[in-house]
Structure 1
Amino acid sequence: MSKETKKFKTESKQLLNLMINSIYTNKEIFLRELISNASDAIDKYHLLSLSDDKLEKTNDYEIHLEVDKKKRTITITDNGIGMTHDELIANIGTIAKSGTLEFLKNLKNKDMKDSDLIGQFGVGFYSAFMVSKKVEVLTKSAYSDIAYRWSSKGEEQFTIEEADKESRGTEIKLFLRKNEEDENYDEFIEDYKIQSLVKKYSNYVKYPITMEREKTIPRLDADGKEIENEYDTIIENETLNQMVPIWKKNKNEVDQKELNEFYRSQYYDYNDPSFTIWTNVEGLLTYKSIIFIPGKAPQNLYSDKYEKGLQLYAKGVFVMDKCKQLVPDYLRFIKGLVVSPDLNLNISREVLQHNRQLDKIQKNLEKKIINELSKTLKNDRDKYEEFWKEFGVNIKYGVYDNFGINKDLLKDILIFTTANEEKSVTLKEYVEKMPKDQKDIYYGSAHSKASLLASPQMDVLKSKGYDVLVLKDEIDEFMLQILNEYDKKHFKSINQGDLDLVDEKEKEDIKDLETKKEDLLSKIKDSLHNEVDEVKLSTRLTESPVCLVSGEGVSFEMEKVINQMPGDKDVKAKKILEINPQHELFQAIEKVYANNPESIEDYANLLYNQALLIEGLEIKDPVDFSNKMVKILIKAANLGDTDGTNSEEN
């Protein structure tokens, strides 16, 4: 048979350019693609040999790599099924078997990164042209006595001719491109680079991937002893891949020590994981996964540079390092891998089509992880609390995220510091310990338990023995707003204007007193020049003189958080100044107001600024506050003078 020159079918040049320049964004994956094709060819031969007596029964399979640095070639050889003349044209000569016109139309109208086209085009072989100026394929089918050589420079045409090859299988030879200003192709003929690419992308291909490598060994004398400082160089066929991945072993045969070593080496962590979750699912959706929860949160976990995701393998071939679709945002700290034979890859295998399979795997893994955390919370509280210190904020974010879609899944693994308990409590534990007359679940934002206990808003709650959740993180109030209730008990902030903590008689007494003191309360409000929305007598204060509470809507803590966010924001919580009518300070103000109503402004400002300080809010004019404080202290000192020098003024 003489050499044939054929043109690629369809709009091949245009399509081939897209294959080489648009679809593949990472040139080093050419080796992964060619090794994957070689593995597929061996798979096909092995399966056919089981039922076809014409084919030799063997397990001596191998994918061999050879590098010629002088000629700048890389050769990938397999002893798989091989190809006939017609199969060469069908599998390689025709880039896309169907739908090419529609495929091209889609590519013209959208960025490849957003392409949702399913990988039905069999174009992995053409990744070779990303690094090659020419590609030769020497192949012999297990069903033919004739071998063929296919050759192309990746342009409009290819040649095919009969060739000499004794054994079945396929040999692909790549003639590397010359180095360019921004591309170094020489690195692909270095042994270390080939080895690293095999380990990275094809480490778990089930057939040995071999390469001849030079090895220096000590020279031995006639008695078999090493001769000092004398060495021989030998050529050894070395297997580069591991072949049997940890997830293919029987789970019962892999101990935690081996899993820890795998985790540390694979994910570059000095610490052992705190949780290892091994899943094997078979059925309509088949996959295996090993999920690790780190012992310590990565330092960059909350930075923009941190990338979530799980490693993804399909049929033993590494597909991507960070598959984001498998990890919900709130579990971004998890590490691990997923292996599935069922996934639909897009044309380049570099990006998975966003599909229901991945969504289902993600949901399954999410439930599995939360179930494991729930069991740990129940059976090993200390271990769970260590986890919570590192990643509790993430779980809270999971409750808040997506308008609370996961709140029912997560609400029972939330734990809180509280005012009354030494150890943290779950919401279920809080509700179980509530006094019979307590209607709601109370919370307060504070930097620590001690500062919450010192808060004046705690007065009546402490007197009743009610416990209060201590909220220390910015996300906490937003999370509880989304939860809204637990076990039909609503969440209420101790800073809310109306807590409904006293009986009807006490309410009526306070209302009557407010009516009597209406002029004084109005004067205090007017003196503050719209700094507060309301001034009222308090039912919650028993020991403290004054406090500031928020009305309906945004709380003080939420006001601070929202206004710290990027963008022009000026969110204001409704401020209500509550005064303890039983406190001697209020009684002193009553006397001042009775004697000189106009002098009440200084006292009103002191009350308000005192409330701001207690609440941790900013005082607008600290100097004015200090001057008014000094003025009142001097006046108080003069009023209390006992030597008679100011008796006339008194």
Structure 2
Amino acid sequence: MSAETHEFQVEARQLLQLMIHSIYSNKDVFLRELISNASDALDKLRLTALRDDALGADVSDLHISVETDARARTLTVRDNGIGMSHQEVVQLIGTIASSGTARLLRELKETDDADAAAGLIGQFGVGFYSAFMVADEVTVLTRHAGESQGTRWVSRGEGTYTVEALDEAPQGTTVTLHLKPVDVENQLNDYAQDGKIREIIKRYSDFITWPIRMAARTAAAAEQADESADAEPASDDFETVNSMKALWARAREDVSDEEYHELYKRISHDWLAPLETIRLQAEGTFEYQALLFIPSRAPQDLFTQGHSRGLQLFVKRVHIMDDCEQLLPSYLRFVKGIVDAQDLSLNVSREILQQDRHIQRMHRRLTKKVLSTIKDLRTKAPENYATIWREFGKALKEGLLDDHENRDTILALCSFSSTHATDEPTTLAQYAERMKDGQEEIFYLTGDSREAIENSPHMEAFRAKGVEVLLLTDPIDEVWVTAVPEFDGKRLRSITKGEVDLGSGEPDTDETEHERENQRREYSGLLSWMTEQLGEDVKEVRLSTRLTVSPACLVSDTHDITPALENIYRAMGQDVPHTKRILELNPGHSLVNGLNKAHTEREDGANAGLADIAELLYGMALLAEGGALRDPARFTRLMADRLSF
């Protein structure tokens, strides 16, 4: 039968050019597509042969072979799978998107969204045509298993293609690419070179179930063939170049720790073994397998903008993406691993996932699996848990802001420094067990370092009464504590907010209340005068019950944001108004007591210049908590004047 020449329709030709030049961001994926098609053909033949004993197909050595010819500049991908009949060739690859092409092109032209465009293209299974990115001409030779006649399809990806029936052809499909001239400026992308092809196979198709074979060559022969287009094609035996070892698909008892560690090192580029290995297998209407690793140390760029994150995504053991961000939340970006799904909605280049319920289900289950594993390690392997919290705790706490569904779980596995112990961090549950009788709140204080927090004036009454305080030193702590109101029914309370009265542990007596009332009356004049005097900086001056040593401290109203949080918002570009705070005075301190007496005498026409002392008290309180003075030179001058002999 003579070859039949057909013309592509105008719309089909436009779509082909669009795919060749616009869809794929990495040309290497053309080989992944061809090998994936070959693997599917082998799967179909194996299944068909099991169902049809009369098929008469050879299934004794199912495989894929890849051959390069640098001299002829050809690349051939061959399988002995199910193959195609003449009619299937015309239907499947003879025309592109045989229905809906015009509508697709129209919708593509009407959208300015690149992702939306990719999604529209994803409605059509045309991955085979990625071959024209690297080839001037593509030839397909195929014969359906059980049939005697074969078919040849040839096209240059332009205006026409030819289809020819053949009396003889090997079972399966052979795709031969007549490669474009090599890019002189980028010799690394020469797809006629054996080394380049092996590299692509190793990256994208290493875990394909079927053996992928290439001509076995000695090192010298391989070097000569890769360097010279005049070298004769090798005639050595074939060797399998893919491992076919999908560890996640093998039984747990059949995989050693060394094999897991080697795979982790390969996908993470980390020379240390992982701290924990997590396996997950989902069965049912949507099947997938996951092999995840928790590293033993945090990468240096974990908190750097642009840090690459996400798991490697496979579909039926075919590598699709290196960094699939949709599978885990950002706060688990340190987790490495592989997810292999049986079916997913992908676009034409398999590079961009379509948002669908399968992705959401995987995201949800993988997240819960990682969190539960970390939580279990706290009792089963405390040392590993401690390492995870030390290396990744800052990232995990981001989930308290972003992941409302798992907030309680994240909060339960968090650990914090505490005044209870200097070395061992504590969980909120452990804190709650140690709470004093009558204590209903979990107290905390944020700051730049443990040392700075422990020396804070706000800690004095808590230290004196033996009340435990959580010491939160990560920048993220300033943010998440505003979003998490309680733990297990117990309110989280900053010791720098509102009024604090720890008391003596005993109910107040009439005598105690009488003493407090007398003290308030004694200092009422000073407090009113200082509130007016410092009105530009504070909203109120009052007596403190949280101070035992320091003369003064600054606190925020219960529902006001802290200065540190104000600074964080401003660093993010948000316009946050300045919030005035409250200055608390310690009536038991000699400086405050003397100031009150001097103020009383001044009302009788005596002392002047007390405004400077009031300003110094405010400045000392600000410095004690690590704040910045508005006018350091003035503060220094006032201090020097007061210290003069």
**Which residue of structure 2 aligns with residue 178 of structure 1?**
181
**Structure 2 residue 154 is the aligned partner of structure 1 residue 144:** no
Summarize the Cα distance change of 1:157–1:166 in structure 2 as closer, same or farther, 3 Å threshold.
closer
Q: How many Å apart are 1:17 and its aligned residue?
A: 1.3
The residue number in structure 2 matching 1:277 is: 278
Task: Find out whether 1:391 has 2:392 as its counterpart.
Answer: yes
> For 2:282 and 2:495, how far apart are their aligned partners in 1?
47
CA distance in 2, matches of 1:442, 1:267: 40
- Distance in 1 (CA, whole Å) between partners of 2:568 and 2:516 is 34
Q: Deviations over 1:25-52 (max 9, x none)?
A: 2111111111111111222222212232
Partner of 1:526: 532
Shift of 1:62: 1.9
The equivalent position to 1:567 in structure 2, one of 573, 585, 609, is: 573
Q: Residue 297 of structure 2 aligns with which residue?
A: 296
1:325 maps to 326
Distance 1:69 1:57, change over 3 A: closer
Cα distance per residue 1:562-585 (max 9 Å; x no partner): 33x142645423311111112111
Single out whichever of 114-123 and 346-355 deviates more from structure 2: 114-123
Instruction: Choose the corresponding residue for 1:554, options 544, 558, 561.
Output: 561
- Matched to 1:613, the amino acid is L
Partner residue of 2:588 out of 579, 582, 585: 582
Q: Matched residues in 1 for 2:308 and 2:150: separation?
A: 48
Q: How does 1:540-551 map to 2 (within 5 A)?
A: 540-551=546-557
Shift in Å at residue 180 of structure 1? 5.2
The whole-number CA distance in structure 2 between the counterparts of 1:472 and 1:203 is 45
Match of residue 241 from structure 1? 242
Provide the C-alpha distance between the structure 2 equivalents of 1:515 and 1:437, rounded to a whole number of angstroms: 30
Q: Which runs of 5+ in 1 are unaligned?
A: 219-232, 638-650
Matches within 5 A, 1:214-229: 214-215=217-218
CA contact (8 A) 1:63 1:76 kept: yes
2: CA distance, partners of 1:2 / 1:57 = 29
Question: 1:386 Cα deviation (Å)?
Answer: 1.4
| Cα deviation digits, residues 474-529 of structure 1 (max 9, x gap) | 11132122110112211111111322434666566445433343322232233335
Contact map agreement 1:532 1:574 (CA 8 A) in 2: yes
Of 206, 230, 240, the match for 1:203 = 206
Counterpart CA distance in 1 for 2:416 and 2:526 is 41
| Aligned equivalents of 1:170, 1:242: Cα separation in 2 | 23
2:32 maps to 32
The letter for the 1-side match of 2:387 is: E
Conserved? CA contact 1:138–1:163, under 8 Å: no
Q: How many residues align?
A: 619
1:123 has 2:107 as partner: no
Aligned to 1:223: none
TM-aligned CA distance change 1:388 to 1:585, over 3 Å: same
- Report if the CA contact (8 A) 2:74-2:176 is conserved: yes
1:439 maps to a residue whose letter is: E
Once the 2 structures are TM-superposed, how far is the Cα of residue 183 of structure 1 from its aligned partner? 6.5
Does the 8 Å CA contact 1:497/1:576 hold for their aligned counterparts? no
Q: Percent identity?
A: 39
Look up the SS of the partner of 1:67 in the other structure: strand
Quick one: distance in 2 between partners of 1:570 and 1:289?
Answer: 44
Assess if the C-alpha contact under 8 Å between 1:50 and 1:57 holds in 2. Answer: no
Is the CA contact (8 Å cut-off) linking 2:66 and 2:212 kept in structure 1?
yes
Q: Call closer, same or farther: CA 1:508–1:556 in 2, change over 3 Å.
A: farther
Partner of 2:636: 626
How big is the shift at 1:9? 5.2
1:460 aligns with 2:488: no
Correspondence for 1:605 = 615
Distance in 2 (CA, whole Å) between partners of 1:56 and 1:84 is 14
Q: Is the 8 A contact 2:183 2:190 kept in 1?
A: no
Q: 1:371: which partner in 2?
A: 372
**Aligned residues of 1:419 and 1:452 also touching (Cα < 8 A):** no
Alpha-carbon deviations, 1:227-254, whole Å to 9, x = none? xxxxxx9723121111232122211121
Which residue in 1 is equivalent to 2:50?
50
Q: Distance in 1 between matches of 2:235 and 2:141?
A: 29
Partners in 1 of 2:124 and 2:566 — Cα distance? 55
Specify the alignment match of 1:113 in structure 2: 115
**Does residue 89 of structure 2 align to residue 79 of structure 1?**
no
| TM-score normalised by L of structure 1 | 0.91
The yes-or-no answer on 1:421 pairing with 2:391 is no
The 1:185/1:170 distance shift into structure 2, 3 A limit, reads: farther
Given that 1:419 and 1:469 are in contact with CA atoms closer than 8 Å, whether structure 2 keeps it comes out as yes
Separation in structure 2 between the aligned mates of residue 119 and residue 246 of structure 1, nearest angstrom: 30
> What is the distance in 1 between the residues matched to 2:7 and 2:517?
95
1:151-162 matches, cutoff 5 A:
151-162=154-165
Provide the rounded CA distance (Å) in 1 between the counterparts of 2:48 and 2:531.
91
CA contact (8 A) 1:510 1:539 kept: no
Aligned partner letter, 2:370: I
2:478 alignment partner in structure 1: 477
CA distance in 1, matches of 2:579, 2:466: 28
